[in-house]
Structure 1
Amino acid sequence: MKILLKSISSIDHDPRVYLPDDKNNFRIVLNLSIGMADSNGADYFDLFVCTPEWLCNNQWVPELMRHTLLVRKYDLDEITETINKYIEICTCDTWTKTAQKLSRYFAWEYEDYQS
């Protein structure tokens, strides 16, 4: 099975043209559309991306960080490459297993969903 990152978006900014005011101190939430290569469908995952400086300046309480990518600067190509590496690592023989593994790294829209 081949899994693809089909799109990256954000409700705050267009990630393709986003330029942080301070390239060393920023945060952005990315919405990832990930699905099987042979399907038009996809599931949605969120990823919080920030610099260590932003984290130090804005996170005041002890917290376990999940679904977060720390970066030194905003470089969408580098971020996309990192996301794709994790998609490859998580690819299994079924979509359900793959999505469950992906949800360890990205916040999945169906995480903890029970029918």
Structure 2
Amino acid sequence: MKAVLKSIGSIDHDPKTYIPEDKKAFSIALTLSIGSSQSNGADYFDLFVCSPEWLCQHQWIPEILRHTLIVRKYDLDEITETINSYIEKCHCDTWMETAEKLSRYFAWEFEDYSV
């Protein structure tokens, strides 16, 4: 099953028009809508994007960072290209298997969900 990025959004900013106040030390939380290329539906995945300088200023304790993309500059085209390259690695037979693979990189809305 082929997964595709259907949209990128953010609660705090419009990713298309976002201009960081500090171009060297910035962060933005993105919500990715990713679904099967064969359907209109999608699941939500979160990704935190930040610069190394932002990390130096805000991460005071040792921590394993998951679901985080570190970039030198805010360039939505470059970020989207990077996201798409990771999505392309996550093809499986079913959507559930594909979404579980995607959750290695992006925080899936149904991760650890049990019925």
- TM-score of the superposed pair, with normalisation by structure 1: 0.97
> Structure 1 unaligned runs (5+)?
none
CA distance in 2, matches of 1:67, 1:32: 12
1:93 Cα deviation after fit? 1.6
Asked whether the 8 Å contact 2:2–2:92 carries over to 1, the reply is no
In structure 2, the partner of 1:47 is 47
SS at match of 2:88: helix
In structure 1, the partner of 2:32 is 32
In structure 2, the partner of 1:110 is 110
Give the AA of the match of 1:113: Y
Give the AA of the match of 2:18: Y
> Structure 2 unaligned runs (5+)?
none
In structure 1, the partner of 2:60 is 60
In structure 2, the partner of 1:76 is 76
Q: Identity percentage over the alignment? A: 73
- TM-score of the superposed pair, with normalisation by structure 2: 0.97
Q: Deviations over 1:76-100 (max 9, x none)?
A: 0000000000000012121111100
Runs of 4+ in structure 1 deviating by more than 6 angstroms, as ranges, are: none
1:42 Cα deviation after fit? 0.3
Query: Considering only aligned residues, what root-mean-square deviation do their CA atoms show, in Å?
Result: 0.7
Asked whether the 8 Å contact 2:4–2:37 carries over to 1, the reply is yes
1:38 Cα deviation after fit? 1.6
